[in-house]
């Protein structure tokens, strides 16, 4: 699908996508998760984003009809059947009280319906899977570090490692389970919106840190190897 075929949002066209990947050990320190905790980065989503780094708001037929007649969230489940096993593994819902399907529906409504895939949920999820599973977007390779319980890393060092290894600056977000302890929660890779899908041209993320991380030079973050569990439902 050509990006030019997609209706703009309030007269503005989004500029790039964020591929957001979660480190479960960090997320499950601040919220209740389901067992078992994945030991690899999982997908949070592929998010259309404006040039000023503001995310495109969720589809709404009254206030944000960004695309004409997109596939509704309730209609995506059957369409995702060919890749469901892969989604269950790489794009799981980590939190209690929601299923994987619930999580996919939320991501579709909040991001997919206003993307360049408004009527093609299978392609949207499949392309996101392919990006996240490719060696090019391997967070460990990009960050230049492996999980460890021994020492934290200067945030600026991680950002520079990604710039060197990946070719562009990412956005890194953090959680703070207790005062003075920062955990690397997500790494987000930014890809330019082009005329064809899937997106493949990387770019610097406009904002390099987020959530509880604020200063790349003074913040030191942990990428824990063992589960940091606040609450775990067996």
For 76-99, b/e burial (b = at least 16 CB within 10 A) is: beeebeebeeebeebbbbbeeeee
pLDDT-based confidence at residue 30 (cuts at 50, 70, 90): confident
- The structure's pTM equals 0.92
Percent of the chain with pLDDT over 90: 80
Predicted confidence at residue 86, as pLDDT, reads 98
Q: Rounded to 5 degrees, what angle do the CA atoms 211, 213, 214 make?
A: 105
Given a cut of 50, whether residue 7 has pLDDT beyond it is no
Predicted confidence at residue 54, as pLDDT, reads 96
pLDDT tens profile 186-219: 999 999 999 888 999 999 999 999 999 999 999 9
The separation between the first and the last C-alpha atoms of the chain, rounded to the nearest angstrom, is 43
Q: Comparing C-alpha atoms, which of 41, 45, 139 is closest to residue 89? A: 41
Read off the pLDDT of each residue in 31-60 and give the average, rounded to a whole number. Answer: 95
Consecutive H or E run containing 107: helix 100-110
CATH topology of domain 3-233: Ribonuclease Rh; Chain A (3.90.730)
Consecutive H or E run containing 141: helix 139-143
Check whether the bond before 38 is cis (ω within 30° of 0). no
Read off the pLDDT of each residue in 168-172 and give the average, rounded to a whole number. Answer: 99
Predicted confidence at residue 226, as pLDDT, reads 81
Read off the pLDDT of each residue in 67-81 and give the average, rounded to a whole number. Answer: 96
Predicted confidence at residue 8, as pLDDT, reads 52
pLDDT-based confidence at residue 2 (cuts at 50, 70, 90): very low
Predicted confidence at residue 3, as pLDDT, reads 42
Q: Radius of gyration (Cα) for the chain, nearest Å?
A: 18
Predicted confidence at residue 127, as pLDDT, reads 98
pLDDT tens profile 50-64: 999 999 999 999 999
Given a cut of 70, whether residue 4 has pLDDT beyond it is no
Predicted confidence at residue 10, as pLDDT, reads 45
pLDDT-based confidence at residue 231 (cuts at 50, 70, 90): very low
């Amino acid at each position: 699908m050509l990006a030019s075929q997609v209706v703009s949002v309030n007269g503005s066209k989004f500029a790039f996508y964020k591929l957001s990947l979660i480190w479960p050990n960090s997320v499950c320190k601040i919220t209740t998760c389901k067992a078992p905790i994945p030991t690899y980065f999982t997908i949070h989503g592929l998010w259309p984003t404006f040039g000023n780094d503001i995310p495109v708001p969720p589809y709404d037929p009254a206030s944000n009809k960004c695309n004409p007649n997109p596939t509704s969230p309730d209609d995506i489940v059957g369409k995702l059947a060919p890749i469901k096993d892969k989604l269950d593994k790489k794009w799981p819902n980590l939190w209690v009280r929601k299923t994987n399907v619930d999580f996919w529906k939320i991501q579709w409504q909040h991001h997919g319906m206003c993307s360049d895939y408004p009527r093609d949920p299978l392609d949207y999820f499949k392309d996101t899977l392919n990006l996240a599973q490719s060696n090019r977007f391997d967070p460990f390779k990009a960050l230049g570090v492996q999980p460890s319980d021994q020492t934290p890393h200067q945030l600026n060092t991680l950002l520079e490692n990604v710039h060197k290894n990946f070719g562009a600056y990412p956005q890194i977000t953090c959680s703070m389970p207790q005062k003075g302890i920062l955990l690397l929660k997500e790494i987000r890779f930014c890809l330019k919106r082009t005329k064809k899908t899937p997106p493949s041209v990387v770019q610097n993320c406009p904002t390099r840190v987020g959530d509880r991380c604020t200063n790349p030079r003074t913040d030191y973050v942990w990428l824990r190897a063992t589960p940091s569990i606040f609450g775990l439902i067996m």
